[in-house]
Structure 1
Amino acid sequence: MPPIHEVALLTLPQAHALAGFCASSYVGILYLLQQTRITYSSESAEGQAKERARRRDDSDVIRARLIAVSISTIVSCSVVVGTIWHTSGNEPLSSAASFAATLLGFTTHWHIFLSCLIAPVLYAGPLYTSFLSSSLPFQQFWSFESNVKPIFSTWVGWRNCIVAPLTEEVVFRACVLAIYHLAGVSSKKLIFLSPLWFGLAHVHHGWEVYHRLGRTAQAVQTAVVSVVFQLAYTTLFGFHCAYLFLKTGSLVPALVSHIFCNIMGLPGFGSDVAQFPHRRVAIILAYVGGMLGYIYTLSAWTKGFDSPYWLSM
């Protein structure tokens, strides 16, 4: 038979099913286990709490969830390896694993540095505002103790800046894109198809918002708005990371972008201008320059990579 990298090993319905399994298992495992579920304090007839609430930022909840999604991520990677091995005929397991590692982007290159800087270029506006507030690294209001140490010394830091970005990129970028690639889906379609799984995987946060706000009619409205907003920006962010992954063939640029954006948060043009009204024009120019720079660097700084995805177009 032809080499496994030259044939479509899956049908499109099979790819949808496997991608759906990877995405749903990543989210589903958070609700499958008692230790990973968020709960809300219940009251007895006398008005006394019977059970302490387990909140999203509780250390024991975060720890259990990080273990759970790590297991889910390993399972998803195994699905990719197993699919290649099972559908490629007489190919040895070692060949399937090697091909899977390539498709999953577990590679890096010396010239990948520039592609990791594309997201910071887009954030030129917020970075300029941080400069004005003297909160960039090594400025007056930045310190290792308050800005770096919490990333590695707190469970929230591990979740937001290390484990969550890594596992989400492996599952929703590497595994999902690899699965659709095995079905012969073009890279251009993958840029717009796969991020939908990433966006949908964040919809469950609406349920948490609804319960946290007391399960009222107002809570429903707030939860719906929250879900729509989160679905929109996570899908847009997914387009960015999918493009980086497909163009470079490496998980590193997408992972670095994910970590950087988690640290920076969503840009707040209005609040930036309100904070420094006397620098309004400069802030506007920085935001516009960041968007224009992003458009240029997204193409210019992702050229010259030996990507198995882009070469197949």
Structure 2
Amino acid sequence: MQLLFAQPLITTSSAHLVSLGLCAAYVGSLYLSKNARIKFSHGHAKGSLNGPNGYDERGRDHPDVIRARLVAVSIATVLCCLGVFGVIFYHIGADWKNLGIATKATALRLGLHLSFSSSTIDVLPHLVVPFLFFGPLFASYLGGQLPGQRYWTWQRNVAERFFGIMGLRTYWVGPITEEIVFRACVLSVYHLSGASRYRMIFLGPLTFGLAHVHHAWETFNRYGRNVAAAKRAIFSSIFQFAYTTLFGFLASFLFLRTGSIFPPITAHIFCNTIGVPELTWELRRYPKQKKAIIIAYLIGIAGFVYTLLPWTKTNDNFYWAQDGDPRHSSAKY
């Protein structure tokens, strides 16, 4: 039996249920453990949930909560991968002789391999997103904040930022586990149902956006549990849902286009590092370089559009078979 199958293994309805189950498993893991749950005191109007403010409260940035959640999402990610394996193993025949096939088929669909070109690791797919952020990078250059510049230090900008407890969550465990679950696992399940690549790109990331909505509860509690706090929680959740979904479109494209989970992971880490572009603030901070900043943003957008397809083209990728590939006209799942 081959690692690719001639017919879809599951129905679209089953794919929806499995993807929602994967999302629920990941987000639910944040609340199963007592140590991972956030805690609010009654009567608290407003303030930090993580510092010595006189209240027995623990927000999502509390070190103990972060540590517990890192363990929780790591376990959940492994279970989600096993869930995809279970779907494949069950539908090709739950027989021990098919164990090796199911394992290899799962690893293939999860993109747990580096992409290669001419016997070297292909770095171009990892550079597409940094190109898009050429404008913010130029603004950082103006502020002397890039490596080697006057306001950049190894201790503050690397050691403390990336290897402290919050850095482990924001730049390592978070991006890696989220991409494996919400990109590799969710999209592989939809692919097993015969979903088109366009449906996977534009519908699959909705679960990723929904997975961030639960932060609204902490926002509501942090800012006073009143009407103003509710409005703040709603608007912040809408904004977070919007930009995480938009990023999900791009990350899904990178995953399907390359057949590897690593370009989405590096893109996620890079975006978390740079943050949401703040063009208006940058223009106010550097008024003498307004034209240069705008040009840098336009260069980044144009470069991103120009490089997106050629730099992400990957041979022997069943998710996105190229013209001339015999699989291009014959779907495999």
Per the normalisation by structure 2, the TM-score is 0.89
Match of 2:57 in 1: 53
Task: Please show how residues 162-177 of structure 1 align to structure 2 within 5 Å.
Answer: 162-177=172-187
Counterpart Cα distance in 2 of 1:280 and 1:157? 32
Deviations 1:39-90 (A, max 9, x none): 112369xxxx997101211111000000000111011000011110110125
Counterpart Cα distance in 1 of 2:61 and 2:315? 39
2:115–2:314 Cα contact (<8 Å) kept: no
Unmatched tracts of structure 2, length 5 or more? 45-52, 322-326, 329-333
1:42–1:50 Cα contact (<8 Å) kept: no
Counterpart Cα distance in 2 of 1:218 and 1:278? 38
Task: Please show how residues 85-104 of structure 1 align to structure 2 within 5 Å.
Answer: 85-89=89-93, 92-104=98-110
1:74 equivalenced with 2:84 (yes/no) = no
Match of 1:138 in 2: 148
Deviations 1:174-226 (A, max 9, x none): 00000001111111210001110000101111111111111110001111110
Aligned letter for 2:225?
A: R
Match of 1:31 in 2: 31
Deviations 1:145-198 (A, max 9, x none): 001102453110000000000000000000000000111111121000111000
Q: CA RMSD, aligned part only?
A: 1.8
1:14 equivalenced with 2:20 (yes/no) = no
Unmatched tracts of structure 1, length 5 or more? none
Aligned letter for 2:102?
A: A
2:3–2:104 Cα contact (<8 Å) kept: no
1:178 equivalenced with 2:191 (yes/no) = no
Counterpart Cα distance in 2 of 1:187 and 1:150? 40
Counterpart Cα distance in 2 of 1:262 and 1:117? 15
Aligned letter for 1:74?
A: V
Task: Please show how residues 179-194 of structure 1 align to structure 2 within 5 Å.
Answer: 179-194=189-204
1:109 equivalenced with 2:119 (yes/no) = no
Match of 2:273 in 1: 263
Aligned letter for 1:104?
A: L
Equivalenced residue count is 309
Q: Secondary structure of the equivalent of 1:6?
A: coil
1:277 equivalenced with 2:281 (yes/no) = no
Per the normalisation by structure 1, the TM-score is 0.94
Q: Structure 1 101/230 Cα, relative in aligned 2: closer, same or farther at 3 Å?
A: same
Counterpart Cα distance in 1 of 2:299 and 2:234? 33
Counterpart Cα distance in 2 of 1:123 and 1:50? 41
1:305 equivalenced with 2:325 (yes/no) = no
**Alpha-carbon deviation of 1:307?**
1.6
Counterpart Cα distance in 1 of 2:152 and 2:82? 42
Q: Secondary structure of the equivalent of 1:5?
A: coil
Counterpart Cα distance in 1 of 2:164 and 2:178? 20
2:200–2:252 Cα contact (<8 Å) kept: yes
1:83 equivalenced with 2:93 (yes/no) = no
Aligned letter for 2:192?
A: L
Q: As a proportion of its length, which structure holds more helix?
A: 1
Identical amino acids, percent of aligned pairs: 44
Q: Structure 1 131/85 Cα, relative in aligned 2: closer, same or farther at 3 Å?
A: same
Aligned letter for 2:22?
A: C
Counterpart Cα distance in 1 of 2:268 and 2:99? 32
Q: Secondary structure of the equivalent of 1:164?
A: helix
Counterpart Cα distance in 2 of 1:69 and 1:20? 16
Aligned letter for 2:303?
A: G
